[in-house]
Structure 1
Amino acid sequence: MEFMQQFLGALGSSGRAAEVQDLAPGAFASAGDTKSVSSQFQDFVWDLEGIGLRNWLRMDVSELEQFLPKGEIANLVVNTDGEGFGRGGGGPGTIQLDADDTQVAKLMLRCAARGKADLLDFEAVDPYKLLHGMPAREVDEELSTLPPNPYLEDHQLERLVDAHQTRLGGRKGQNPRTDPKWLEDGATVDELYRKELDFYRTAGPVEWKDDGDGGYEWKWKQPPNTFWDERRKVYIQEQKGVDPNLKLKEMRQHMLDVTRMGSMVKVGRINYFRALVVVGNGKGVYGFGVGFGNTPKEARADSALKALQNLEYIDMDPGRSLCTPVKGHEYKHTMEIIPRPIGRGIKANKKFLPLLYILGLDNCKVRFMYPKIFTRIRAIKRTLDDIVSRRTLANMTGKRYALLVAPGDHWVHWPDRWFSEIRQPYDAKNHHAKMVHKHAVHFKKRGVRIATPLDVKAGWRKKNWARWNTPLERWLQHRRENFDPSMLPSSTIPGDDSASPSLPPAAAASAHLAA
């Protein structure tokens, strides 16, 4: 709470706070709102703890100021001549604001109040729908479906924007100077602003560029390792040989299979060898090669060279688990990669471990179906192509890399001793069941094992055992349940010797047993 008082005191004693208080009275909390402010601060602490930033509150005020962005803030000028952004006579180091900027500011505040601080989260700018030409809802239409903020209403946010615009108009282009001593460490505000602007400009599958007239134009990003074919109007994959800058000391190879082949030619039958080799650096760069030679050594050298000419990259995050399971097919041959928590390692057949180490896979379970190695290679490549990293997802969706997490992601390994408290009731129940058996056998002088209520499953009766009986036993059980002596004639009642029996001997015996 002391830290909160110091922090609020630093904000309340600033010159900007005095200006806001003059233009918008009641913007800062009074002394009577201490209870609500403290409860909000406690909620803030819990939210920080939920994302792992509780230690951030333990920083000293001077240490906190050291890491805040510093620098001269660009001078904001309200444009009244109707010109767009970046025009007019504001001079260098100024940002001119017009009516469109005001509307955008109000819209972004409404979005942030409803939990969507990034405009790329809306359907109107969804890259998938933009690429396929699918209709999408407008931002205002989608925003109306979200629940409003219980603490900030839309008219209050618009009032803040109007008050800030009025304050900028009253300054007449004058911006308060920053203390030079405060500019010693940390990044400047201008650098932070340019970095954010570049991020949003290059986020997604398109790139925006300034056309020089105050507007922007866009174009699709070029896929990596491709060139533009003017005749076909498409991007074509580059066919390249062995990269001369490739560090071969980091590469490892493993021969998957070598087979003796034969064929018929004009001079007769010839024999040769076919080798399948995988090369890689264990960090996601790999390549498969199929080589031929008169000897296994020549075939292996040829396949290793072809593997280096066809290197590919696994799009995965190093040191983190996979986002989703992946599965690839080539006819009936399949490969499955199932992610495991961090620190669990690889789970697969031992003969596949050299292949998996060269590919750079970790913390996953790998399974193969059917042993034909030549077809399995294509299934492996299709499976590895389906792996998508968080970095690629961030570029595709425009979201921050740190906001993309997958099931199983964690940064701290829980020690096993933490679970000893959870195991105690289960261990106690097992120990109690063993003690009941021990007492029933040893202390009650019974030579058989006694079933306790803990061992008997509810719902089992002798009636249910009829499915394993013989047909005669099932018929007897049916007679026991449905037999009524009053429905039988007097001649069939057991013990009545005056009349001759009208039933067969077996049926009479069954009726007697049933009675």
Structure 2
Amino acid sequence: NLENFREKVYDYEHTENIQDHKEMPKYETDPYYKIRQTTGGPSKYFYPTKGEIFRPRDFTLLFLETDSVCLVTELQRINHRRILVFIGNGNGVIGYAKGKGIDYQSAFQNCYIQLKRNLIVIDLDPLLTNTGMLKARHNDYRLWIYPRGRPNYWGSMQIMHMLIYTGMYHCRFVVKSRKKDNYSLVYAFMEAVSQAKKPSVAAEMFGKKIAALSYHP
């Protein structure tokens, strides 16, 4: 095969009278083939606009999962890229987003657009960030967050970083799941953390004084 290729190149050089090998024709893409790509940095969509007050530089982005999905039709197969991210500023402002696109750049672009819509604020007291048990479940994923004087993040590296960037330090957690599912993890985490309350609010709910609120050792 290599000898046949060299013979074809030799014949082409003599028929076209090519003296320099750099003049050999190069492969060019089909001009009718549409390359659908996005332009610009996706992070430009995560900036405050009119009526919004937050500092994008204070947030930390956690890249949780990426995968590829395929839509099969009678005529073709359409592949898409999908990503899942979590974001937090360590002071009670958190959010998550799912991005989907024909490539990772467009998926990130859609993800950053969704991040601004999914931002929530958790009312935390830095002296006592957790005043009671927080419990949540999504599908087969179960999560319990208990109050604790000193943090104990053993059990899951992802939940550890998510709690740190949420700003919740007086806690420990228990997680139970038969399989790894980061989407259920995020849904259960957001449901559990959104139940957190300040000591003053928790004291009114339980009918106790603020000094009587404490955490388990």
CA 1:304–1:335 in structure 2 vs 1: closer, same or farther (change >3 Å)?
Answer: farther
Instruction: Measure how far apart 1:290 and its partner are.
Output: 0.9
TM-score, structure 2 as length reference: 0.65
Query: Does the Cα contact within 8 Å between 2:137 and 2:143 map onto a contact in 1?
Result: yes
Letter in 1 for 2:79: N
TM-score, structure 1 as length reference: 0.30
1:347 — aligned with what? Answer: 154
Instruction: Measure how far apart 1:397 and its partner are.
Output: 7.1
Letter in 1 for 2:166: L
SS in 2 for 1:365: strand
SS in 2 for 1:262: strand
Matched, 1:369 2:170: no
2:104 — aligned with what? Answer: 296
Query: Does the Cα contact within 8 Å between 1:324 and 1:338 map onto a contact in 2?
Result: yes
Query: Does the Cα contact within 8 Å between 2:128 and 2:199 map onto a contact in 1?
Result: no
Instruction: Measure how far apart 1:302 and its partner are.
Output: 2.0
SS in 2 for 1:347: coil
Letter in 1 for 2:171: C
CA 1:348–1:296 in structure 2 vs 1: closer, same or farther (change >3 Å)?
Answer: same
Query: Does the Cα contact within 8 Å between 2:148 and 2:215 map onto a contact in 1?
Result: no
Which of 378, 398, 404 pairs up with 2:187? 378
1:92-241 alignment, distance < 5 Å: none
SS in 2 for 1:353: helix
CA 1:316–1:403 in structure 2 vs 1: closer, same or farther (change >3 Å)?
Answer: same
Matched, 1:315 2:156: no
Per-residue CA deviations over 1:221-240 (Å, capped at 9, x if unaligned) read: xxxxxxxxxxxxxxxxxxxx
CA 1:381–1:247 in structure 2 vs 1: closer, same or farther (change >3 Å)?
Answer: same
Q: Which runs of 5+ in 2 are unaligned?
A: 1-47
Query: Does the Cα contact within 8 Å between 1:390 and 1:404 map onto a contact in 2?
Result: no
Letter in 1 for 2:170: N
CA 1:320–1:345 in structure 2 vs 1: closer, same or farther (change >3 Å)?
Answer: farther
Larger strand proportion of the pair: 2
SS in 1 for 2:215: coil
Q: Which runs of 5+ in 1 are unaligned?
A: 1-240, 410-515
Per-residue CA deviations over 1:315-372 (Å, capped at 9, x if unaligned) read: 3321325222221111221111122214x45333234433222222213222322221
Letter in 1 for 2:187: R
1:154 — aligned with what? Answer: none
Instruction: Measure how far apart 1:270 and its partner are.
Output: 0.7
The 2-side partners of 1:327 and 1:299 are apart by 31
Instruction: Measure how far apart 1:256 and its partner are.
Output: 0.9
Larger helix proportion of the pair: 1
Which of 65, 69, 73 pairs up with 1:261? 69
Query: Does the Cα contact within 8 Å between 1:348 and 1:365 map onto a contact in 2?
Result: no
Instruction: Measure how far apart 1:262 and its partner are.
Output: 0.8
Q: 4+ residue stretches of structure 1 with deviation over 6 A?
A: 397-400
2:45 — aligned with what? Answer: none
The 2-side partners of 1:321 and 1:283 are apart by 10
CA 1:350–1:378 in structure 2 vs 1: closer, same or farther (change >3 Å)?
Answer: closer
CA 1:249–1:397 in structure 2 vs 1: closer, same or farther (change >3 Å)?
Answer: same
Instruction: Measure how far apart 1:313 and its partner are.
Output: 2.2
Per-residue CA deviations over 1:371-412 (Å, capped at 9, x if unaligned) read: 212222221122112222213235657876x44522359xxx
Per-residue CA deviations over 1:23-45 (Å, capped at 9, x if unaligned) read: xxxxxxxxxxxxxxxxxxxxxxx
1:55 — aligned with what? Answer: none
Matched, 1:332 2:140: yes
The 2-side partners of 1:350 and 1:377 are apart by 13
Identical columns (%) = 20
CA 1:289–1:315 in structure 2 vs 1: closer, same or farther (change >3 Å)?
Answer: same
Matched, 1:276 2:77: no
The 2-side partners of 1:364 and 1:398 are apart by 22
Structure number with higher relative contact order (C-alpha < 8 Å, ≥ 6 residues apart)? 2
CA 1:349–1:377 in structure 2 vs 1: closer, same or farther (change >3 Å)?
Answer: closer
CA 1:326–1:399 in structure 2 vs 1: closer, same or farther (change >3 Å)?
Answer: closer
